[in-house]
Amino acid sequence: MFKGRIIHALYKKLLTLYPQRFRERLGESMEQTFHDLCNEQKQQPGHSFFLLAIFTATAIGIVHEHLLILVEGNVMKNMLTNPTSAAITSLILSLPLGLTFVAFMFDIEPLVKPLNNLFTIEGQQGDINMLGRIVIYGGLLLLPVAFALNLRPILKREGPEGKRRLYALNLIVGTAILLLTTFTWGGLILEEIYCLRGIRCD
């Protein structure tokens, strides 16, 4: 019973990531449908797989709806004014370098070997190929852009009093991007300082 309440609470929270107009129109009916389906399936085998499929489909639907907003309207305007769209776009921009950094930093074996094969010249271990350079240097340049894009809705003043609003998703994404920027750019700058002082120069 307790587990069921947690699952329903998580699904309800997930629905809040839909664009506001979509959420107002279909949010309640989606929540009720999920509740009914869970009650029907909870005694059936494969209930966990069913829940995973529902959550995955909903997450894909959220991304799809935000992409529709960007495609149908003024793309730049929507990205700058819609907090969730700004957060998702920023996350997508920082994801290639972010995943690469996490994989190598924490030595995630299932990811490290394929990424090494993908980003290095065959037979020349340690020499980065063109794709690797695009991901690394392109990712480094995109990080400040992603951070600024994500921060824009928070800096925007709203209402007659011109107050700023804090959005939880933007704060979480912004903190993650800021940490990634600090570690990657900071590591690069430290490497250059060591090289200039003759301590270590790779």
pLDDT at 160: 62
**Does 97 share its domain with 186?**
yes
Domain that holds residue 104: 74-202
Residue type for 156, please? K
Matching residue, tokens 């094969």: 117
pLDDT of residue 180: 93
Q: What pLDDT, on a 0 to 100 scale, did the predictor assign at position 113?
A: 82
Which residue in 16, 64, 61, 10 sits closest to 38, CA to CA?
Answer: 10
Whether residues 58 and 101 fall in one domain = no
**Can you list the pairs that 116-125 forms with residues at least 24 positions away whose Cβ atoms lie under 8 Å?**
none
Please tell me whether residues 78 and 176 are part of one structural domain: yes
* DSSP per position, 149-202: HHHHHHHSEETTTTEE---HHHHHHHHHHHHHHHHHHHHHHHHHHHHHTTS---
| pLDDT score, position 171 | 92
Last residue of a domain, one of 27, 47, 72: 72
The one-letter amino acid at 83: P
The first and second tokens of residue 141, run together, are 């340049």
Distance between CA atoms of residues 22 and 149, nearest Å: 23
Q: List the chain residues with pLDDT less than 70.
A: 1-4, 43-47, 70-80, 123-126, 157-162, 194, 196-202
Tally of domains in the chain: 2
Q: Quick one: how many helices (H) and strands (E) in the chain?
A: 8, 2
* pLDDT of 172: 92
